[in-house]
Structure 1
Amino acid sequence: MELKNNAALIIIDQQKGILHPRLGRRNNPQAEERMLELLNHWRLTGRPVIHVQHLSHSPDSVFWPEQSGVEFQQRFAPQAGEQHVQKRVPDAFCATGLEAGLREAGIDQLIIVGVATHNSVESTARTAGNLGFAAWVAEDACFTFDKADYFGGAHSAEAVHAMSLGNLHGEYATVTSTAQILADS
């Protein structure tokens, strides 16, 4: 892939609450390091960065607006000139103005990272693809948690992550690595 000068990095839900132990076992322990590599590169090259913040409707959520879990982790705090999008559902395009802002800026290439792979990352990447954006998901800059399926079967975070990426790759987005994205920039 050829990374455009205006390719946007979309960092999803890197808030304090995502680190809460009650969310359970996760995969990709180096995901934040990969996200920060991309973020630092985007900042050095002057490409657009979009920070997505989830504001939950549920008082028992780690992202409930009236507690500190909703705040960005310090290492992912938006800097001057970086866009900040607040969402109320997993999909960062739903009722946020994200699509309009990208189109207005002439941005058609998106690199999507963050959490959780099977939830906000997947729903945002699906919509990006459906809307005609060229979307890439950095598989090593996302993570998720152990999860039970509809029938109660337990699945490891690794399996949930892999299935979610499989759902996306080739249809809604291109799944690749941080190293490949950086090599193409």
Structure 2
Amino acid sequence: MSKPLDLSLPTALILIDNQSAFTHPDNLSDWGTGRSNPLYEVNIQALLLAFRSARTASSTFMEVIHIFHSSVTPGSPLHPSHPNNGIRPLDFATPASDGSEPVFWKSVNSSFIGTDLEAHLREKNIRQIIVAGLTTDHCVSTTVRMAANLGVVDRMLDEGPVKIKSDGTHVKDVRVQKGRIVLVPDATATFGKGGFDAETVHAVSVASLDGEFCEAIGAEEVVKMLRKH
């Protein structure tokens, strides 16, 4: 059993690249061979519904954040000019119509490059993020790694960034109150590549993140935690 979510902390659900380019039959060969996690769509929907319900009932700040990809490569299924309109959000992960769910557009793997996501998380004092979406080994992995490296959910208890001397020692001791990064592996998916099937690529990607950059908690467990809030 995983450690429960701490929903007394300001929390964001970050959904990455839930866009039609990844499901359109004409585009599947662009991504690889087959796709992992047949329950991805069901689990994303359950996660989003549970988070929205918890947010409505919570006195703590909770926010859904949507990250979408707009490629700069002509011909890419995620380029704005593509005839299949691949940048369109999938129906089950469309941002709320009332504008209460921020949307950030990126053009690279990291959700933090070329966007205001980092500034937004710090402004809102987000201390816990829950990450899901596409694809496990590319944009999801890169975003989780950068979130951890940037310390976007951490709180510095001493002023100033970490400063390191030329010999590798620290200029001064730094105290950090750690936030929490949660990855929902079965609400993410990827494709086979390099001779490895999709489930293997997915599993190895999650294993590389879990315990080092984030905590991996299954969708059913996260949904139960949200419903108890």
Please indicate the TM-score interval, normalised by the length of the shorter structure. over 0.9
List gaps (5 residues or longer) in structure 1: 149-153
1:65-119 superposed Cα distances (whole Å, 9 cap, x missing partner): 1131011112211112001010010110112110110111111211000010000
Aligned-pair identity (%) = 34
Note if contact 1:3-1:184 (Cα within 8 Å) is conserved in structure 2: no
Q: Does residue 33 of the first structure (1) align with residue 37 of the second (2)?
A: no
In structure 1, distance between residues paired with 2:54 and 2:224: 13
Structure 1 residue 169: Cα displacement: 0.7
In structure 1, distance between residues paired with 2:6 and 2:225: 6
> Structure 1 residues 77-86 or 20-29, which shifts more?
20-29
State how many pairs are aligned.
180
2:53 to 44, 53, 61: 44
In structure 1, distance between residues paired with 2:51 and 2:34: 30
Q: Kindly provide the amino acid, as one letter, of the partner of residue 224 in structure 2.
A: A
1:17-55 superposed Cα distances (whole Å, 9 cap, x missing partner): 011332330010111111111100111122310111001
In structure 1, distance between residues paired with 2:112 and 2:93: 20
Structure 1 residue 163: Cα displacement: 0.9
Q: Kindly provide the amino acid, as one letter, of the partner of residue 95 in structure 2.
A: P
In structure 1, distance between residues paired with 2:135 and 2:52: 23
Q: Does residue 181 of the first structure (1) align with residue 222 of the second (2)?
A: yes
Q: 2:93: which partner in 1?
A: 76
Q: Does residue 16 of the first structure (1) align with residue 20 of the second (2)?
A: yes
Structure 1 residue 4: Cα displacement: 1.9
Q: When the two structures are superposed, what TM-score results if normalisation uses the length of structure 2?
A: 0.75
Q: Does residue 66 of the first structure (1) align with residue 81 of the second (2)?
A: yes
**Do the aligned partners of residues 99 and 159 (structure 1) sit closer, same or farther apart at CA in structure 2, a change above 3 Å counting?**
same
List gaps (5 residues or longer) in structure 2: 56-61, 154-179
- The list of structure 1 runs, each at least 4 consecutive aligned residues, that deviate by more than 3 angstroms after superposition, is none
Structure 2 counterpart SS, 1:43? helix
In structure 2, distance between residues paired with 1:164 and 1:116: 10
- From the CA coordinates, give the structure whose radius of gyration is larger: 2
Q: Kindly provide the amino acid, as one letter, of the partner of residue 92 in structure 2.
A: R
